[in-house]
Structure 1
Amino acid sequence: MAESGKLNSVENSSSDAVPGRKEEILCQPCSRKDLQTTADVFCLECDEFQCSECSKAHRVYTFMKNHKLVNATEAKLKPSSFDMKGIDNCEQHSELLKFFCEDENQLCCSTCAIVDHRKCQSVVDVPKIAGKSRSAGSQLKRKLEEVKSKAGMIVKHTDSSKEQLSKDIKTIFVEIKRMRGDMNKMFDDLEEFVTRETDVFKAEVTNKLAKKRSSGEKHVADVTKSLEIVDTALENGTPSQQFIVEEKLKKQANEFYRDVENDCQNLQIATVSFKFDKTLKLPPLPISVYVPGKLTLEYTLPEAKKSVAHVDPIVKLTKITSIDLKQTGDDVKEPLYTGLDFLPDGRLVAVDNKNNNCLIYNEKLKKVGSYQLSYYPQDVVAVSEDEVAITSSYEYKIDFLRVSKSNEITLYRTCKVKTKYASICMKDERHFVVGTIDDTRPVRIVSLSGEEKDFSIKFQNMKYPIGASACSYIRNTEKMILTDRYEHTVYIYDVATNTSVIVKDDQIKEPRGVTVGPSDCIMVCSDGTNSIVQICHTGRILSTFKLDMDYPGRVCVPKGRSILAVTNSCVGERMLQLFRPTG
């Protein structure tokens, strides 16, 4: 290679000769360390210029002692190859690649030739074969240039694609902005339309409410006046005067009651709602065409609020049928039903704690189906038309069973839980209210998927063993009921207000099972008085019904059906009975 080739191999050397300036050759090892040092020698073996300091390595290391060093200025006049930068070194042995194996088409160093290619037939020196393949360089160059061209095309394509993507995205946002304007106009028109309609409706409702309020205020004033007369007569009047007052005001009181009750029954609640259509019609269209929903303005009488003056009817029970629970050939022990509930179609589901059974009864208390469990069941609740959930006395789980129309029962899934549960009822369509066993949280909430959480209620410091407590829940008023058998107490917790009512009475002895009865009253099994006690949700005892069975333990009433089931735990005289509640 010419002298310029040698100079080009030195990165820090100038390729342009400047008259009057002496050309300087720099030490290549120093240049790699960003040092500007003048080269003194050139190593023919290392193929690089070195300063005096860097060249001392040739006297230090034995493998470099035979390297030939020449003056740096003399090396400039000799042809030299370009810096291979390690390409000509063997990756395995770090030696120069001096040979080429034609059999395996592979470059190799001296060690490779001896160790790996000693059995090959044609291993030749690189200079020898290099002279035979002059065209290889041009072929390689053409291939590399082709690769470079295609890679460049890829770069241009990606740049073009990126630019087009940005344009497409910008176009979308322009369209969104246009659509937003149309939508805003539509909702501005909708707001004007709803405002106009609701203003008219509100004025009508306000007028009716004012009349109703005036009537109510008049009733309050009239009744207050009559009460004052009655109180005065009772305190200061003679028996004759009291009698006259009672007779005179009795008719008036009946008229007051009739008028007020009539007003209560006809109290209307004005509701306004707006249900959006699933598909919106975009403007420009008349408002009558593209209102995105249906505006409803109406009066309703909610089921739970038809009458402001709530009347708690006293429930009477009429027996429908009764059966004795006897040990049969399939039973290991005398049956003990610790859980009862009705399916929506009227079939009764029971769990037998002593014989590990789930049983189905028809409306005549004829057993029509059964399923053998592998554990001691504690309570059962109907989840849907064909599904029940069962708690276990000693296992951390809730089992879900399918009950077919033909009374076939199958276990289809189990939810693992972290707490042992006894009594169970539905809180809503997705959650249970469950009574715990030996836990400081006597009642908890469990979802259908097994997620557990606590009520935001401050309970008394109490833990209940099996059979010492039961719970129920009134959905309409968000009240949770808890019985305490050994304290002879029924607790009524208002979940919404976090308040409670404690019910203790001589009519309640060892309360056990509890359920929600007609008109959301509370029906409690009083084990110690052999009766069912009816309690209103405010804690007032409404009635007591004496049963012809000893130690009633479990009771249930289906939602929306006039029937009640009760069973007991009397040894040798266990029964299951159905009643029709009337009020």
Structure 2
Amino acid sequence: MASNFESIQMGCDFIHDFACSACEEDGLNTEAQHFCNQCTKYYCNNCVPVHNKLYKRHAVLDRKDVKKWAAAPGTVEVLEICERHPGEALKLVCGDHDQLCCHMCVAVDHRQCFSIQHIQDIAKDIHKDPEFRQLPQRVAELRTHLEDMKNDRKKNGASLKKTRAVIVGEIKAIRKKINDILDKMETTTIQDLDRLVADQELSIKKDMDACTLMHDELKSIMDAIPNKESSDKPPLYIGFRKCKEKIKQANEILQNISKIVKYKITFRKNDGIEENLATMAKFGDINESNVFTKKTLPLFSQDHVFDSQGYHEYSVEMCSDKNRCDIEGVCELPGGEIVISDYSNCKVKLLDQQYRVADHCDVPEYPFDVCHIGGNEVAVCVNFRDDRRELHFINMTKGKLVTTRKLCFMHRSYGVAHHGNKLYISSNTALYIYTMSGKNIKKLYEDKSGGNTVQRIAISNDGKTVFITNFSNNQLITLDNLGNKLATFTDHYLRGPHGPATTAGHVFVCYFDSDTILQVDKDGKKKLATLARKQDGVLSPKALFFSSRTSSLFVCGSKDTLLVISLR
């Protein structure tokens, strides 16, 4: 009897996204729960057993694979279904709200809108839309970025496990020096560590799951878009609009995930643990040390040419300064703080994320270049004629700059860069490589044709390329990591190259005498763009730093200000 079926008469108001094809032939309106690809028909739970008995080799999809269902003739394509009103087809666009609409959407939510158009009318030239033509490439790139983000998080998870092993080993080494009273302390400390690792791994899993889900959704919607130019235009337009929304969601997911570049855990031993054992509860503090980004940036290709979007100046002058600031070096810490070296006032200054001077530490003589070493540590070149030739290591601890150690050299130290646990030090005519403990590895390059032929240096992200500014001969020199010269860049109109900066294949250089900032190609052979000049606030620039957190270029020189150039 009909009452045994989960169906109602066709004349009722029930609307299903997919109706059972067999029931429709009997004048019934029953929601389909299955779809056969070979028959291209839909079946409810009551009809599908009959179909399966007749066609045992047919592949039948159930509701969990509904996105793979194809539309039978006379039904609404999956792509065209209104998400708010399943069963209704998307036929209209509201220009006032920039939304795809079905007739019910218009009747309920857009009755007062004036810009309602038929998709059929505005989708005619969709194939000619440049943005539509770029859609496959944009989706492919986004899916690649999502997959890369997922892989990075996977590697991060493995790194956390290795970090845990290192820290536990450190804990065990301490444990051997003391007696059985440490059992409780060991347990407490490792529990703290495991809790943080578990929290970090959970965060990583959530990031990976989010990337996987969005990756699959982008693929699914691209698979649903017809790829033939002869296809009906409305489905193409609808797919285009839905894909744009997914792209927006994917970018938001990447932005939220990328705020933390890397999950990290550190361990710091309690000093005097043997002497003060009785007063301590655990071996040391297990702390998270996540690397945050200020915001998510566009993923620029290596051949991307930057465009300046704005120039802002921030004062770096302090009340205690006796002279006009002369900034020789600048770099950024993982938390967004900026460290600059003020030559004329013999100070290393700390700027907060709003570029305000938050702290400083004095150095005995004139500070030159500064570079980030790792964590919150920087290295600063300090010289005074021929008497002082040093590299000072300064750490930011609780918002304060503290000098922790120094290295002494037999030559001057004007430029410094760090890569792969090696220090690259320039002496104005030669470039040396040292270990972190100050042992000289080798002289990588030398040029005695002038007094300032090896001024400042920058290392590519992969460590394979070294960029040197030759101030005496107005050149930007490119070396490989063996010291072989690869390229020499000059510009007839520009004088006094200073402070190169590199990031992810992009190279920047400033010109002291010409008050100019350039972008140069990754091989150091040709100019790509002029990013700033004197009229933009550039005055005798000496130091550059590109912030991947904010897509900004920090410019310092003979001014009391830090110039921040926003790039796109």
Q: TM-score range by the shorter chain?
A: 0.3 to 0.5
Larger Cα Rg: Structure 1 or Structure 2? 1
Normalised TM-score (structure 2): 0.45
